[in-house]
Each structure stands twice: as structure tokens, then as C-alpha cells.
Amino acid sequence: MKELNILSPGQRLKEIRKLLRLRQDELAGDRFSKNYISMFENGKRTINAINAAYLASQINEFAKMKGKDINLNASYLLKSERDMAKENCEKWIDELELKPNMSFRDYNINLYKIIHISSKYGLASYKAKALHLKGLLYLESGRYECAMTQFLGALVYYGKENDFMNISEIYKRLGTIAYKNKQLQQAFVYFTLGHTIVKMNNKNDIKKIDELNYLIALCYYDMGQYPMAEKILELCEVRNNKYLDLNEKINKALLA
């Protein structure tokens, strides 16, 4: 995959110059020597914003003369490989989140690209996001062990970024897997961890707190601890249908 090979600024210039079939001295014009272009292309010297703007202007002029659809911005010659890696990861993540009808194959290809590039350039937040999304993909298809592996990986990288809200989200997902596997005590632990983290870092996120309170109450109910289930469920501020159904089950159990 060509997208996985991120070029240095000098290599990017060389690639465009070759595309336009320009010699180094042609591109240099009156401002630079051929040697300057050569050293930049080979990574032996850096370039400043003024010189990047000149070269971008030169390229755009030659492209126009040759009928090529190129409109180069100077920033393209200034961005580091890591900057380009970030941009690519953001683009691929946007594609995953904004294209709900993306095929399973294309979805996985994007995840692979994000994980590969983020690993190569030390972009922990993007790797965490990709592993998180991959975990959700496995969770939705019922492949719980695979989902668990991805979520645990995401947890490590979210931890490196101190991304507490996503750490809470991962604990909720781990709890969901444990619950589906009928590991109620383990599910309870995960849901409680997620709840504690949200309360400590964003106590105003009522929706997330309510959701975790509901899940904790559900665990108490399934473990037969009905008074505790009732107590926790009462903490929910939003009384939706899911809440009402569980509340009814708890009341019936308490009266039995």
C-alpha cells in the first residue's frame, strides 16, 4: 500500500518534480542552485517557510504550463513524516466514522493502515482509537475473545494519553463482554471501574453515569442482590424504557 510509505519533505518534492519531468536546475530557477534542491531532496538540509513557498509557486507554475492538475501548498513541503502520519490517521478514522455503509473489507483495511502508521510513528491516541474500533467490530459480531484482546490493547494506549473518558468506555465494553459470558462478578468490577473514572473526571456527563449505574444495577439484579439493585437504579436521573423495565423486574423480585 502506497499510503503506508510516508515520504520525507524532500522525497515529496522529488516525487512531484519527477511527475512534472523537471530537472533540479529548472525547479531551482534564479533563487537556488541545483545543489540546494539536491540536498533538500536527499534529506541533507531542511527548508524554511519562505523557500517552501517559492518552490510551491514554481511547481504550480510548471504544472499549469504542462496542463497538470496540481495546486501545491507550501505546508506540504514543511510537514514532517509524523505530521503527515497524523493527517492520514485522522482521514482514515473520519472515513470509518462518517461512512456507515463501508464494506467489512474496507473497514478492516482502514484499521490496518491506522494501526500500522500509528505504531511506526508513536501516535498512541490513534492506535488506541483503531484498536477500540476493531474491538467494537468484533463485539458486534459476537467474537468476544477477539474483542477483549483489542479492547485491552486500546486500554494500554488510552492510558498513555491519560484519556480517562475513553478508558471508562473501554471498561464498559469489557464489562459487556463479561456480562454476555455470564461472568457477573467480573462484569460488575468493570462497570464499577468505568463509573468511578467518569465520576472523577467528568461528573457532569449524566448520560454516561446513568448508563453505568443501570449496568451496575443489572449485575446486582442478576446476582440476586435486589435491594442493592434498587438502590443503584434509583441513582439514574433519566427514567427511560430500559430503566422502567429493570425497575419493574426488581420490584417483582423484592415482593416475591
Segment 235-247, tens digit of pLDDT: 999 888 999 999 9
Q: What is d(CA 53, CA 193) in angstroms, rounded to the nearest whole number? A: 52
Could you report the per-residue pLDDT of 9-26, keeping only the tens digit for each? 999 999 999 999 999 999
Q: What is the pLDDT of residue 102?
A: 87
Residue written as grid cell 531551482: 28
Q: What is the pLDDT of residue 3?
A: 82
Q: What is d(CA 202, CA 159) in angstroms, rounded to the nearest whole number? A: 17
Q: For residue 255, what are the CA distances in angstroms to 172, 231, 250, 251? A: 31, 15, 9, 6
Q: What is d(CA 32, CA 38) in angstroms, rounded to the nearest whole number? A: 11
Set of cell numbers at residue 178? 463479561
What average pLDDT does this structure show over 99-115? 91
Residues written for the chain? 256
Q: Quote the percentage of the chain above a pLDDT of 70.
A: 100
What average pLDDT does this structure show over 172-191? 98
Average pLDDT, the chain: 94
> Residue 171: which of 144, 204, 196 has the closest Cα?
196
Intrachain domains 2-77 and 163-255 with the same fold: no
What average pLDDT does this structure show over 156-183? 97
Q: What is the pLDDT of residue 256?
A: 74
CATH topology (fold) of 163-255 = 1.25.40
Q: What is d(CA 111, CA 107) in angstroms, rounded to the nearest whole number? A: 6
C-alpha count within 13 angstroms, C-beta hemisphere, residue 218: 21
Could you report the per-residue pLDDT of 90-103, keeping only the tens digit for each? 999 999 988 878 88
Q: What is the CATH number of domain 2-77?
A: 1.10.260.40
User: Residue 203 pLDDT > 80, yes or no?
Assistant: no
User: Residue 115 pLDDT > 90, yes or no?
Assistant: yes
Q: What is the pLDDT of residue 2?
A: 78
Q: Where are the domains of the chain?
A: 2-77, 163-255
Could you report the per-residue pLDDT of 40-88, keeping only the tens digit for each? 999 999 889 999 999 999 999 999 999 988 999 999 999 999 999 999 9
Q: Quote the percentage of the chain above a pLDDT of 90.
A: 85
User: Residue 121 pLDDT > 90, yes or no?
Assistant: yes
